[in-house]
């Protein structure tokens, strides 16, 4: 099986590579681009730790092959903060509200919520909980995560159920 | 790398896809969104020598209202159209609201950004939402193969566990949903429709333990003139509760207080191979299924008769927390 040549824009930087077709986008980012912020939990689409933005949309990087991202723009957790290191609103809210414990799941949560809050400027509590359902936290630190997302959305604290 | 090695193909037309499938034979598989196929490859439940990707086949994407003299109005959705696009479409919510309402129940939004309607139907998971919706609305599935195009009624499409009427060299190109008369308020004859989907899953985004879709058309005189009841998670394939449908069609839309529960019970009587696993016995699934049919029936009838909107129906006290989540 011949390798396939691809070019992917990763966090604004073009990356060219020849990859086996069966290499997932997640493995491409971690092993070829050395961007190990994209974490691999289950590798079959359940846990959400590997979530990245593909042309702006949140997707599971373990559920697509790198060859399928040829020509696309990918944003990983390394591309979320400003170039000077200033945290994004979502990242800052996660820090402020203890939205991470061990941190393994955090890149996936931050990416998912970055896309969700871009598309939902004033989400309800129910919408936030639904949007969070695609990412798992094994520390079960969900209350802090929920509070962080409410704060990032400007929707109050976790004790205020917005409807 | 977890999947077995394969050769990757990314043709740019449906005709090229079919030609590749013909040349490559049984060792080739079509990949669209890959949200069901990639887990199967990663777990090595399946492996193929060739994957034929639809990502460059633009003709397989799109949502259109169509009108023909033979079949009336229909909604056409290209096979490679993502669930996210369908979920956001005003055309879909106007012409096939059941499809719109079922979409948030599929996986999570990250999955729906990649997953496609053609993939959902061709994968034919028995507990998935779109196959049941296609059955319930009397959809037709369009395909292309070296022998040409054909149209397969959804009622003849799902043939077994993860198995369909598609031949190995046949590509699912699109789906036609007939537009039910009265879908947007009363039509010329005074008919109105109601649509509802209900499912129970252990966690949002999980496959449903049992679920039901109901589409109902009610005449201006309050008679049920058309009815589709779909069941998912309750057999080797998605199913239609044909006997329960026949029992209610022609009768009064607003029956006695037990009407919904009786329809739910009747729909379960037809089942003969309900799955059982660690999430629930067959008997439990039938109890959940009956409750889901009853709940969906109440909502659909409420919408069709103006006695309650799609979101206005009460809780019937049965297992219900899976409803409305993604």
Strand partners, A126: none
Domain ranges of chain A: 4-79, 89-152
Chain A interface residues facing chain B, Cβ-Cβ under 8 Å? 1-2, 4, 20-24, 27, 43-45, 48, 51, 54, 57-60, 62-65, 67-68, 112, 116, 130-131, 133-134
Out of A53-57, B57-61, B223-227, B310-314, pick the least confident.
B310-314
Facing B326 at nearest CB: one of A4, A112, A130: A130
Residue intervals in chain B for CATH 3.30.43.10: 7-52
Q: Above 80 in pLDDT, residue B96?
A: yes
pTM, whole model, 2 decimals?
A: 0.93
B293-326 pLDDT per residue, tens: 999 999 999 999 988 755 544 444 333 333 333 3
**Per-residue pLDDT, B307:** 84
Grade residue B29 by pLDDT with cuts at 50, 70 and 90: very high
CB contact under 8 A, B326 and A133: yes
- Place A29 in a pLDDT band, splitting at 50, 70 and 90: very high
Angle between helices A125-132 and A142-152 (to 10 degrees): 130
Q: Residue A162's pLDDT is what?
A: 43
Strand duo B171-178 + B140-145: pairing: antiparallel
CATH class as words, domain B7-52: alpha beta
The pLDDT value recorded for residue B188 is: 84
Give the pLDDT confidence score for residue B92 in this predicted structure: 98
The string of DSSP letters for B184-249 reads TS--TTS-EEEEEEEEE-SSTTSPPSEEEEEEEEE-TTSBEEEEEEEEESSSSS-EE-HHHHHHHT
Separation of CA B14 from chain center: 23
DSSP B313: P
Residues of B in contact with A112 (CB under 8 A): 109-110
Separation in Å, CA of A57 to nearest CA in chain B = 7
Tell me what pLDDT residue B313 has.
Answer: 42
CATH number at A89-152:
1.10.150.120
pLDDT, tens digit (0-9, with 9 covering 90-100), for B106-126 = 999 999 999 999 999 999 999
pLDDT at B164 over 80: yes
Q: What is the pLDDT of residue B321?
A: 38
Q: Judge whether residue B26 has pLDDT over 70.
A: yes
Q: Which CATH class is domain A4-79?
A: alpha beta
Q: How far apart are CA B183 and CA B192, in angstroms?
A: 6
Average pLDDT, chain A: 93
Mean pLDDT, range B246-273, rounded to an integer: 94
Choice between B69 and A55, residue whose per-residue pLDDT is larger: A55
Structure tokens at B191: 């008919």
Greatest CA span in chain A, whole angstroms?
Answer: 56
pLDDT of residue A55: 98
Mean pLDDT, range B225-250, rounded to an integer:
97
Read off the tokens for B121: 């139907």
Phi first, then psi, for residue B294 (nearest 5°) are: -60, -45
> How many Cβ atoms are within 10 Å of B216's Cβ, its own excluded?
29
Q: What's the rounded mean pLDDT across residues A87-116?
A: 97
Q: Which of B50, B108, B125 to mutate to test the interface with A (most CBs of A within 10 A)?
A: B108
Confidence (pLDDT) at B154: 98
Cβ of B42 within 8 Å of Cβ of A44? The answer is yes
B59-178: in CATH 3.40.50.150: no
Of A4, A20, A133, the CB nearest to B1: A20
pLDDT at B14: 98
What three-state secondary structure class fits B14? helix
Long-range contacts of range B221-227, CB-CB < 8 Å, 24 or more positions apart? B221/B190, B222/B252, B222/B253, B222/B254, B222/B305, B223/B250, B223/B251, B223/B252, B223/B253, B224/B248, B224/B249, B224/B250, B224/B251, B224/B252, B224/B253, B225/B191, B225/B249, B225/B250, B226/B180
Which pLDDT score is estimated for B310? 52
**If one looks up domain B192-305 in CATH, what number appears?**
3.30.390.50
**Average pLDDT taken over every residue of chain B:** 93
Q: Which residues of B touch A (CB under 8 A)?
A: 1-8, 10, 34-35, 38-39, 41-43, 51, 53, 55, 84, 104, 107-111, 113-114, 203-205, 325-326
Query: How high is the pLDDT of residue B135?
Result: 98
* Separation between Cα atoms, residue B315 and residue B298, nearest integer Å: 10
pLDDT value of position B186: 84
Which pLDDT score is estimated for A156?
40
B39 contacts on A by Cβ (under 8 Å) = 44-45, 63
Q: How far apart are CA B263 and CA B244, in angstroms?
A: 6
Residue A18, judged by CB atoms within 10 A of its CB (0-12, 13-18, 19+), counts as exposed
Which residues from B are below 8 Å from A63, CB to CB? 34-35, 38-39, 111, 114
pLDDT at A116: 98
Asked whether B292 and B210 are in contact (CB, 8 A), the reply is yes
Instruction: Kindly tell me the sign of the dihedral angle through the C-alpha atoms of B131, B74, B141, B63.
Output: negative
Residue B192, pLDDT score = 96
Region(s) of chain B under CATH 3.30.465.10: 59-178
pLDDT for residue B309: 53
Q: Residues A59-81, buried b or exposed e (16+ Cβ, 10 A)? A: bbbbbbbbbbbbebbbbbbbbbe
Give pLDDT tens digits for B179-236: 998 998 888 889 999 999 999 999 888 899 999 999 999 999 999 999 999 999 999 9
């Amino acid at each position: 099986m011949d390798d396939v040549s691809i070019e992917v824009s990763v966090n604004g930087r073009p990356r060219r590579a020849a990859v086996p077709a069966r290499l997932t986008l997640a493995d491409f980012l971690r092993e070829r681009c050395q961007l190990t912020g994209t974490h691999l939990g289950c590798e079959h689409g359940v846990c959400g730790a590997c979530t990245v933005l593909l042309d702006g949309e949140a997707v599971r990087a373990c559920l697509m092959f790198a060859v399928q991202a040829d020509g696309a723009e990918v944003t990983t957790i390394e591309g979320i903060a400003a170039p000077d290191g200033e945290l994004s609103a979502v990242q800052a809210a996660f820090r402020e509200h203890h939205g991470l414990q061990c941190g393994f799941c955090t890149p996936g949560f931050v990416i998912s919520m970055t896309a969700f809050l871009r598309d939902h400027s004033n989400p309800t509590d129910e919408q936030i909980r639904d949007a969070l359902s695609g990412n798992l936290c094994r520390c079960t630190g969900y209350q802090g995560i929920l509070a962080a997302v409410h704060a990032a959305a400007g929707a109050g604290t976790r004790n205020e159920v917005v409807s | 790398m977890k999947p077995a090695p394969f050769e990757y193909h990314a043709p740019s037309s449906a005709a090229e896809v079919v030609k590749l499938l013909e040349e490559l034979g049984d060792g080739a598989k079509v990949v669209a969104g890959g949200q069901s196929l990639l887990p199967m490859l990663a777990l090595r439940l399946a492996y193929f020598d060739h994957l034929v990707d639809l990502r460059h086949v633009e003709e397989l994407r799109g949502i259109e209202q169509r009108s023909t003299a033979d079949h009336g109005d229909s909604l056409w959705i290209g096979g490679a159209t993502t669930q996210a696009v369908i979920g956001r479409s005003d055309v879909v919510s106007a012409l096939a609201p059941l499809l719109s309402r079922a979409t948030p129940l599929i996986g999570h939004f990250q999955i729906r950004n990649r997953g496609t309607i053609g993939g959902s139907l061709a994968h034919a998971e028995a507990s998935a939402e779109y196959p049941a919706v296609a059955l319930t609305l009397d959809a037709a599935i369009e395909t292309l193969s070296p022998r040409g195009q054909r149209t397969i009624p959804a009622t003849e499409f799902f043939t077994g566990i993860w198995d369909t009427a598609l031949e190995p060299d046949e590509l699912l190109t699109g789906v036609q949903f007939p537009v039910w008369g009265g879908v947007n308020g009363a039509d010329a004859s005074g008919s109105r429709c109601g649509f509802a989907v209900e499912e129970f899953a252990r966690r949002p985004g999980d496959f449903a333990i049992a679920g039901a879709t109901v589409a109902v058309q009610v005449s201006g005189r309050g008679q049920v003139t058309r009815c589709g009841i779909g069941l998912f998670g309750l057999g080797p394939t998605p199913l239609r509760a044909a006997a329960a449908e026949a029992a209610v069609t022609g009768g009064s839309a607003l029956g006695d207080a037990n009407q919904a529960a009786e329809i739910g019970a009747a729909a379960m009587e037809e089942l003969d191979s309900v799955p059982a696993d660690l999430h629930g016995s067959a008997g439990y699934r039938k109890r959940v299924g009956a409750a889901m049919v009853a709940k969906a029936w109440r909502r659909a009838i409420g919408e069709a008769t103006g006695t309650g909107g799609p979101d206005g129906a009460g809780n019937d006290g049965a297992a219900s927390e899976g409803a409305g989540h993604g």
